[in-house]
């Protein structure tokens, strides 16, 4: 089992299974297998096109729904209040569950009515469709605005975060406001496997560079990581990363790596420096 992060608005396993790019039977097997290995946190989204398979994996696992922390997300084209509500309801239908533990705005939309979208998000929580709500891919200025409006009880921020991209302004906001910071692409799409610094630390501990990358993230305050793996071996190794203890020399070596390598930057992405 992964360690648990408890914040004022959330109780969430610090290691979860990301499911981006997993589809159909592969996604169902991945979810069912991960839960069998001890995962209790599954992350999906409407845009991933796999919610039905994720729901089937949850059901086939035999583990009670209330023991699983399930996150899904509403796509940036569906942020008008009625569309946001319809998207969330459709996600829950596909997932075959009456509620998600966390529903996020997946990406901000340029020119979005932030207050209206946050109001619709909060109504999902008030009506029991979401146990908690939050946002994803918000730059610091927009997150600060969203928090300042006080409309939605924002419990979490999900962003790209790994040894090559540490987003301190966002991390500081999360610490200040008690938000969980969920790191997607936490092993930099496995590029850490080719890094001599990461390989050296891994060899010293008898683990893999991917495990070192996850262990480093778990040293950060209020941080949750959702590595994707469809293979039982990879899922097992990712879960085991929580038990790795990096020393001061390891931490210094990782701190010296560049921290500005963004891997996910679609054309609709916000101005990250805003």
Asked if pLDDT for residue 38 goes beyond 90, the answer is yes
Active-site positions read 48
DSSP 243: G
DSSP string, 12-79: EESB-EE-TT--HHHHHHHHHHHHHHT--EEE--GGGT-HHHHHHHHHHH---GGGSEEEEEE-GGG-
Q: What is the mean pLDDT of residues 74-90?
A: 98
| pLDDT tens digits, 43-71 | 999 999 999 999 999 999 999 999 999 99
| pLDDT tens digits, 136-177 | 999 999 999 999 999 999 999 999 999 999 999 999 999 999
pLDDT of residue 100: 98
pLDDT of residue 218: 98
Whether residue 29 contacts residue 237, with contact meaning beta carbons closer than 8 Å, is answered with no
Between CA 162 and CA 177 the distance in angstroms is 22
Instruction: Kindly tell me the burial class for residue 146, based on how many C-beta atoms sit within 10 Å of its own C-beta (0-12, 13-18, 19 or more).
Output: buried
Nearest Cα neighbor of 65 from 131, 158, 155 is 131
> pTM for this one?
0.97
| pLDDT tens digits, 229-243 | 999 999 999 999 999
CA 188, distance to chain mean position in Å, is 14
pLDDT of residue 1: 79
Residue 189 three-state SS: helix
């Amino acid at each position: 089992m992964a360690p648990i992060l408890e914040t004022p608005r959330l109780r969430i396993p610090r290691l979860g299974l990301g499911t981006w790019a997993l589809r159909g039977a592969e996604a169902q097997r991945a979810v069912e297998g991960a839960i069998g290995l001890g995962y209790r946190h599954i992350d999906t989204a409407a845009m991933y096109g796999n919610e039905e398979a994720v729901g089937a994996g949850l059901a086939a696992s035999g583990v009670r729904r209330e023991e699983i922390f399930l996150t899904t997300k509403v796509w940036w084209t569906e942020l008008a209040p009625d569309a946001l509500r319809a998207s969330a309801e459709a996600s829950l239908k596909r997932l075959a569950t009456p509620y998600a533990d966390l529903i996020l705005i997946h990406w901000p939309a340029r020119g979005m009515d932030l207050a209206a979208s946050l109001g619709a998000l909060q109504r999902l929580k008030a009506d029991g469709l979401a146990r908690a709500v939050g946002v994803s891919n918000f730059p610091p200025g927009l997150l600060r605005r969203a928090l300042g409006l006080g409309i939605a009880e924002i419990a979490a921020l999900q962003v790209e975060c790994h040894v090559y991209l540490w987003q301190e302004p966002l991390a500081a906001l999360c610490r200040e406001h008690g938000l969980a910071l969920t790191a997607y692409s936490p092993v930099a799409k496995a590029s850490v496997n080719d890094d001599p610094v990461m390989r050296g630390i891994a060899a010293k501990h008898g683990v893999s560079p991917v495990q070192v990358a996850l262990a480093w993230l778990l040293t950060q305050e209020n941080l949750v990581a959702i590595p994707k793996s469809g293979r039982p071996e990879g899922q097992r190794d990712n879960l085991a990363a929580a038990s790795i203890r990096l020393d001061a020399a390891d931490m210094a070596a990782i701190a010296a790596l560049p921290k500005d390598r963004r891997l996910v930057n679609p054309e609709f992405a916000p101005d990250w420096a805003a």
